[in-house]
Amino acid sequence: MRCLLPGLLAVGLAACESPRGFDRGLGEEPVYFDDATPEQRDAAARLAGEGLVRGTGTYRLQPGDRVEVFYHADNQRLRPYRLGIGDALDLDFDFNRDLHGQMVVRPDGMIPLPCKGEVRAISLTPAELSAGVARRYTDVARTPVVTVIMRRFTMPTEDLADVVRSGAEGRARTALARPDGVLDLPRAQGVPAAGMTLTELTGALNARYAREVGGVSVTARLTQIGANQIFVFGEVRQARAIPAPTPRTLLQLVAAAGGPMPTGAMDQVRMLYFDPAGRPRVRLVNLDRVMRDLAVEKDMVVPPYATVWVPPTQVARVGRFVDQVIRQIFLFNGTSISFNDGNSFRFPN
């Protein structure tokens, strides 16, 4: 037993060298930070800084986030509106006011005409419908004129039509990212938003509106981040789930948990997180170097719902092992242990 404690301490001290920081995905070989080129380290440092300075500029959307989309209409480039199922309209006959009537485009795309049966209205512009209806009445009027007056637009077109008709700048609509990560907006249903930055989302929406209506551009901003939490545990003073409504780095989150305890190995902090494709990854970061040497490239902006663990130092592990073996297993309470130099140590009762 005399050599047990010194032997354990020697093993612990020999293992105190910090492991190399790395990032690794499931089934992948680890990528070590020390192997990065100076250019790669500079790029990683800029990414971490931009994530804080630009805030939501580098943030990737998640389910539960709320986005506000501003519509900017160019009436000179707008495509003519085409009738859809459920649209309500008036037909005004200038040659016979008794024929005037209100109607709704039926699920089969047809509308009834006074004394002339039915006519297909779906996918026609109001002008095309007016001309088609007028041709039906050339047998009762020499130059019949029929005017189509829109009363109600089909949802979800109605919201967008309100913006388009007014031509007002800055009209906005808000949308909540559904649990499947998609957004529903006027004339842009089911836009996959999860994993996108706001810049990428704006590009996707503009491409959709260019195909659907033309003459409409949008800009998007993040108004609310969902219930994002980062879980921090291990050798910290306040292990807990930390709300993260704005981007935070790994070092900031450890600080938000009260900072490390003296037994915490800040050179071996581990984080489990998920990449934009939803694949799990683990990262080992030497936060001591981040603070001491400004090695910002080793830090990172923590993605949503990550888990951070500050492990105990090797000395702390050895000390706890010694306590467990000697105090709890061998029950050496109240027993003195002598060392080769003649000194002794007594375990307290």
Q: pLDDT tens-digit profile of 140-185?
A: 888 888 899 888 876 444 555 555 555 444 477 888 998 888 998 8
Query: Domain for residue 326, yes or no?
Result: no
Among 2-11, 44-53, 57-66, 199-208, top mean pLDDT goes to 199-208
Q: Are residues 160 and 72 in the same domain?
A: yes
> Of 224, 256, 281, which residue is a domain's last?
224
Work out the widest C-alpha separation in the chain, in whole angstroms: 126
Q: Are residues 129 and 262 in the same domain?
A: no
3-state DSSP assignment of residue 192: strand
Does residue 103 carry a pLDDT above 60? yes
Taking only the tens place, the pLDDT of each residue in 118-140 is: 999 988 988 999 999 999 888 88
23 contacts 281 by C-beta, under 8 angstroms = yes
pTM of the model: 0.52
Name 121's bridge partners: none
- Nearest to 265, CA basis, from 238, 235, 289: 235
pLDDT at site 340: 53
pLDDT at site 348: 52
pLDDT at site 343: 54
* Residue 54: CATH number of its domain: 3.10.560.10
* Residue 122: CATH number of its domain: 3.30.1950.10
Q: Are residues 232 and 290 in the same domain?
A: yes
Q: Are residues 177 and 241 in the same domain?
A: no
Q: By residue range, what is the domain housing residue 41?
A: 17-58+227-312
Q: Are residues 71 and 183 in the same domain?
A: yes
pLDDT at site 255: 93
Each residue of 89-115: b (16+ CB within 10 Å) or e? bebebeeeeebeeebebeeebebebee
> pLDDT averaged over the chain?
79
Query: Domain for residue 337, yes or no?
Result: no
3-state DSSP assignment of residue 254: helix
CA–CA dist 219, 44 (Å, integer):
28
> Of 134, 152, 170, which residue is a domain's last?
152
Q: Are residues 134 and 248 in the same domain?
A: no
Q: Are residues 95 and 232 in the same domain?
A: no
- Average pLDDT value for residue range 44-65: 69
Does residue 231 carry a pLDDT above 90? yes
Q: Are residues 238 and 294 in the same domain?
A: yes
239 contacts 233 by C-beta, under 8 angstroms = yes
Higher pLDDT, 65 or 308: 308
Domain count, the chain: 3
Taking only the tens place, the pLDDT of each residue in 262-300 is: 999 999 999 998 877 778 889 998 998 888 887 777 788
Query: Domain for residue 94, yes or no?
Result: yes
pLDDT at site 170: 47
What count of Cα atoms within 13 Å lies in the side-chain half-sphere of residue 53? Answer: 6
Q: Are residues 308 and 252 in the same domain?
A: yes
Query: Domain for residue 1, yes or no?
Result: no
Q: Are residues 291 and 237 in the same domain?
A: yes
- Average pLDDT value for residue range 196-216: 85
- Average pLDDT value for residue range 17-32: 80
pLDDT at site 55: 54
Query: Domain for residue 262, yes or no?
Result: yes
Query: Domain for residue 323, yes or no?
Result: no
Q: Are residues 219 and 70 in the same domain?
A: yes
Q: Are residues 175 and 267 in the same domain?
A: no
Query: Domain for residue 163, yes or no?
Result: yes
Does residue 222 carry a pLDDT above 50? yes
Residue ranges of the alpha helices (H) in the chain?
4-14, 38-53, 126-136, 157-166, 198-212, 250-256, 287-293, 314-322
290 contacts 45 by C-beta, under 8 angstroms = no
Rounded percentage of the chain residues whose pLDDT exceeds 90? 19
Query: Domain for residue 339, yes or no?
Result: no
